[in-house]
Structure 1
């Protein structure tokens, strides 16, 4: 249920755009004194005789401006359901604004909000707002001469897709920081300084990723510090405002028992494959092996093949492994001395490159790849996209409103 309250606007200095993830409860802002006074009078009339109020252009524009400014704190490109939540919140806070002839009672407000947000983006683009400027026509490639072509925007619940330019910094000063980072990553016990410099250059890095779409090898040479476990976690937090590894592990463990119960009920060929995978976890007490088996079983349940994504090799077949890895678009590699022993190496592959090595466990390798997909603004791999979407929307609770049918059915069973 969407609750409502009135809160004053915050200035950009105290509340930067893109600072927060979309709220579970959208708070309707406090409008101008005249608007609030008139709405109060109209709400009293509505309570007395049920008369709805159709505001004039000036008042309606005032209301839409206030709502749009509040929405801009969370996203510059609101989705359909977000506009619907805001419109619903408005009519709950001010019942007199409900609309007769609409199934929901607020359809017209929802459509007006969409147009208002488009107008706001146009104004912000002219002012040079980085997340909106990147979608201006002059920044589009040849053959994309339409405003709606190849829009670059948050698609996986990123909060800081392209952050605001840091105060007191120029592109030149940030580039100097990046160059200094190349030396710092070669030093030992230097994590604190590296993290500070990575924080400071976040804007430059995101701008480069989103605008230029560099090849992974080239980008890794320019930003080697990003390809460390600690910085993958830090970058994910900067982008989504949520912790990566700790949240993933805790949520996944919380769902584990229920998932096992659901997965074991699956019948047929898939059910037998799942039983074979889950049987492995019963042979040892290792928590990471348990997580790995459950994750692979979820993939099978969602009609995906974990063996095509988690690729295992014997240490004795190094040349074959390297050849196969070099042709892998995205995945996790596991190297063992023999099939029955713990992995000698687990790593992450993107565009045929080992971007992370010796991550410690298969489940951690998956989490690091999940984080790198956000950090590098990549799409989920086609052969494992439903498993990643399950982890994004259910495990990490990032934009879980619109679900694929397979994932929706699993979610219903999980929360039953």
Structure 2
């Protein structure tokens, strides 16, 4: 029993480095990989040999998330029952998870900062965005308030118009590309141009069929 607990603890700790809320299929893949790598752990009498491991791992992850919530993990806090509608207050309802490539889905606040201090910086941004030749100052403030924006997007899902009113500094090329990189760790322009190059021949053919001068 101690060995099984140690294995489950290690697996859960490793999984949450990548996803706090893995899907059912992903948990099954981990359980399958476990018994595949260590045949001695295969469950006798089980159709798959890892069904019990899968169930135990799901319970272990649920317990691990409770620990993360006590430690103030924002992604777990946003998915807690206290943040769900009263008539749909179940753990499985509306779980907010990162989409593909969202590496920094729900980051924690910078050390020494809180929702209140970051909101104050946001209010100052509304004034600083009107100043000329202020790009570097804006960039530093936008970097610092990144976690505040992400939690706002995930928790409230605001309309674009409302979001633009609250964060006008975000809606320029420099800050949009910076925000994309903060979330995905990928350069937006490099990604865009690489995809454009990959499809350039098809785009040229489509353009040629429509007539006119290419270029």
Q: Does 1:66 align with 2:13?
A: no
Contact 2:207 2:214 in 1 (8 A): no
**CA 134–101 in structure 1, closer or farther in 2 if over 3 Å, else same:** same
Q: Does 1:167 align with 2:97?
A: no
* 2:88 match: secondary structure: coil
- List structure 1 runs of 4+ shifted beyond 6 angstroms: none
- Which protein is richer in helix relative to its size? 2
Q: Does 1:128 align with 2:72?
A: yes
Q: TM-score, normalised by structure 1?
A: 0.46
In structure 2, what is the Cα distance between the partners aligned to 1:80 and 1:151? 13
> Which residue is equivalent to 1:284?
214
How far 1:62 sits from its partner (Å)?
0.7
Q: Does 1:208 align with 2:152?
A: yes
Give the alignment's Cα RMSD to 1 decimal: 2.8
* 1:143 match: secondary structure: helix
Q: 1:15-414 to 2 correspondence within 5 Å?
A: 57-99=1-43, 105-257=49-201, 260=202, 279-280=209-210, 283-285=213-215
Please identify, of 151-160 and 202-211, the stretch whose mean Cα deviation from structure 2 is larger.
151-160
- Which protein is richer in strand relative to its size? 1
In structure 2, what is the Cα distance between the partners aligned to 1:256 and 1:81? 36
How far 1:167 sits from its partner (Å)?
0.8
In structure 2, what is the Cα distance between the partners aligned to 1:237 and 1:188? 25
Contact 1:181 1:194 in 2 (8 A): yes
* 2:97 match: secondary structure: coil
**CA 227–97 in structure 1, closer or farther in 2 if over 3 Å, else same:** same
How far 1:138 sits from its partner (Å)?
1.6
Query: Which one scores higher on RCO, CA 8 angstroms, separation ≥ 6?
Result: 2
Which structure's CA Rg is the greater one? 1
In structure 1, what is the Cα distance between the partners aligned to 2:187 and 2:47? 39
Q: TM-score, normalised by structure 2?
A: 0.84
Q: CA offsets, 1:232-277, max 9 Å, x none?
A: 22112222222222113213423544xx3xx9xxxxxxxxxxx765
In structure 2, what is the Cα distance between the partners aligned to 1:282 and 1:115? 62
Contact 1:75 1:159 in 2 (8 A): no
How many residues are aligned here?
A: 215
How far 1:70 sits from its partner (Å)?
0.9
In structure 2, what is the Cα distance between the partners aligned to 1:149 and 1:89? 29
* 2:109 match: secondary structure: coil
Unaligned runs of 5+ in 1: 1-56, 264-274, 286-416
> Which residue is equivalent to 1:270?
none
How far 1:278 sits from its partner (Å)?
5.3
How far 1:100 sits from its partner (Å)?
5.2
How far 1:101 sits from its partner (Å)?
5.4
How far 1:183 sits from its partner (Å)?
2.4
Contact 1:161 1:206 in 2 (8 A): yes
**CA 121–185 in structure 1, closer or farther in 2 if over 3 Å, else same:** same
How far 1:93 sits from its partner (Å)?
4.0
